[in-house]
């Protein structure tokens, strides 16, 4: 099962005197929802994801998962990074089993438990292979299996596919949300790729820069599998592009989303008449 996440008035400064990197981020993510967080490089996406993962404590405010404040990392909310970070001297199955082993499961049992997951991510034939012999996409699939092995309620992805070739990326953009939907996992994906956001998320949050704030939202009401060439896919993509181009206006205008919009993202799915020309 997934988990409900609340971001309660999060402000973060690196160094006490500096200007905030994140300012007053307040939102609610429903259990099982798939959210993409998009914004320019350096706007604070990774910082916010680290806060969600409990890897960083915000200067003000807090994150709650099912009402409980996040104060440290946990296998219940797993983070997956752009680099797979596998141990090259271990096999696929040993790498995939690591989270379980760290959580106290005996190695033999942990390795047995990950076989089904490895099959799900298309690596059943590679379970004994050393990860060094795998392609980048396959290594990222091992990292995905490792993240899923501990049955997380939340999966946090930080630009996980940006180093992969287009075919592998497209395959994972389909597979990961499907797996999360199947298991009811709440997904938060950070990306600077608008197509990736439309392909994977059912809700997109747009972040401004200096300070990082959530300035707009769009709900993605597309069914699966999603086809990039579909007219509705393209119209949602253009809408996001438009908002992105107007991000400075959104950040300084009256369009900062309110609490009521956050509870019902479809409310903010309409193009803003106030700020767009
Ligand atoms: N550990 C840190 N110490 C000081 N500044 C940091 C640290 N991590 C990130 N920053 C700064 O915070 C801002 C946001 O960074 P980041 O969250 O990595 O952005 P994004 O992921 O959107 O590219 C950047 O200006 C970056 O230099
Ligand atoms: Mg980043």
Do 145 and 253 belong to one domain? no
The residue with greater pLDDT, 5 or 274, is 5
The rounded Å distance from CA 88 to ligand 1 centre is 29
Say whether both 183 and 248 belong to one domain. Answer: yes
- Ligand 2 center to 176 CA (angstroms): 20
Interval 167-190 mean pLDDT: 93
21 alpha carbon, closest ligand: 1
130 and 173 share one domain: no
Ligand 1 mean position, distance from CA 45 (Å): 8
Examine the pLDDT at 256 and tell me if it is beyond 50. no
Answer yes or no: do 114 and 208 share one domain: no
Query: H or E segment at 270?
Result: none
Rounded CA-CA distance 118/122 in Å is 6
Q: Which ligand is nearest to the CA of 38?
A: 1
Q: What is the pLDDT of residue 273?
A: 31
Task: Based on the fold, state whether residues 162 and 102 are members of the same structural domain.
Answer: no
Q: How many domains is the chain partitioned into structurally?
A: 2
Inside any domain, residue 169: yes
pLDDT band per the 50, 70, 90 thresholds, residue 6: very high
Is residue 257 assigned to a domain?
Answer: yes
Sheet strands (E) in the chain: 5-12, 22-29, 34-38, 60-65, 68-69, 77-80, 154-158, 186-191, 203-207, 214-219
Strand 34-38 relative to strand 186-191, pairing? parallel
Contact 45, 207 (CB under 8 A): yes
Contact between residue 10 and residue 25 where contact means Cβ atoms under 8 Å apart: yes
The answer on 175 and 60 residing in a single domain is yes
Confidence band, pLDDT 50/70/90 cuts, at residue 188: very high
Show which of 113, 134, 151 is a domain's final residue. Answer: 151
Mutate to test the pocket of ligand 1, among 15, 44, 159, 160 (most ligand atoms within 8 A of CB): 44
**CB under 8 Å to 272, separation ≥6 — which residues?**
216, 243, 250, 255
- Residue 94: the pLDDT is 97
Encode pLDDT of 114-168 as tens digits.
999 999 888 989 999 999 999 989 999 999 999 999 999 999 999 988 888 888 8
CATH number of the domain bearing residue 242: 3.40.50.300
Residue 83: band (very low, low, confident or very high) from pLDDT cuts 50, 70, 90: confident
Is 42 in the same domain as 178? yes
Q: Which of 151, 173, 203 is the last residue of a domain?
A: 151
**Same domain flag for 103 and 188:** no
Task: Name the residue with the closest Cα to ligand 1, atom 8.
Answer: 47
Give residue 259's domain range: 5-76+156-269
Enumerate residues 6+ apart whose C-beta is below 8 A from 30.
4, 186
Does residue 84 form part of some domain? no
Q: How far is the CA of 259 from the centre of ligand 1 (A)?
A: 26
Write down the pTM of the prediction.
0.87
Q: Whose CA is nearest to atom 18 of ligand 1?
A: 46
In a domain, 234, yes or no: yes
**Closest to 49 in 3D by CA, of 79, 29, 76:** 79
pLDDT for residue 252 is more than 50? yes
Confirm whether 277 is domain-assigned: no
The mean pLDDT value for 47-60 works out to 96
Looking at the structure, do residues 128 and 182 belong to the same domain, yes or no? no
More confident call, 253 vs 66: 66
Tell me which residues have their CB closer than 6 angstroms to ligand 1: 14, 21, 39, 41-47
On the question of pLDDT at 111 being above 90, the answer is yes
Residue 59, Cβ density class (10 Å: 0-12 exposed, 13-18 middle, ≥19 buried): middle
168 and 67 housed in the same domain: yes
Pocket test for ligand 1, best of 39, 41, 42, 213 (most atoms within 8 A of CB): 42
């Amino acid at each position: 099962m997934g988990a409900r996440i609340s971001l309660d008035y999060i402000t973060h400064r690196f160094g006490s005197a500096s200007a905030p990197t994140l300012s007053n981020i307040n939102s609610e993510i429903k259990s099982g929802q798939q959210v993409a967080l998009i914004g320019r490089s350096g706007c604070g996406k990774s910082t916010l994801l680290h806060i969600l993962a409990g890897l960083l404590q915000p200067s003000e405010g807090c994150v709650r998962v099912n009402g409980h404040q996040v104060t440290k990392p946990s296998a219940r909310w797993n983070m997956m990074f752009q680099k797979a970070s596998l141990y090259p001297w271990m096999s696929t199955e040993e790498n995939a089993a690591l989270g379980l082993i760290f959580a106290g499961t005996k190695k033999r049992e942990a390795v047995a438990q990950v076989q089904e997951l490895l099959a799900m991510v298309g690596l059943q034939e590679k379970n004994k292979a050393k990860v060094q012999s795998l392609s980048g996409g396959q290594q990222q699939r091992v990292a995905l299996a490792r993240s899923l092995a501990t049955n997380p309620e939340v999966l946090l992805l930080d630009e996980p596919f940006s180093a992969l070739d287009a075919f592998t990326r497209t395959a994972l953009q389909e597979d990961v949300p499907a797996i999360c939907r199947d298991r009811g996992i709440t997904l938060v994906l950070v990306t600077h790729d608008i197509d990736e956001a439309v392909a994977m998320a059912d809700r997109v949050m747009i972040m401004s820069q200096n300070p990082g704030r959530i300035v707009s939202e769009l709900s993605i009401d597309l069914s699966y599998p999603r086809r990039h060439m579909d007219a509705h896919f393209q119209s949602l993509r253009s809408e996001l592009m438009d908002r992105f181009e107007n991000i400075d206006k959104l950040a300084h205008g009256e369009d900062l989303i309110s609490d009521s919009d956050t509870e019902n993202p479809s409310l903010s799915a309409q193009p803003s008449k106030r700020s767009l020309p």
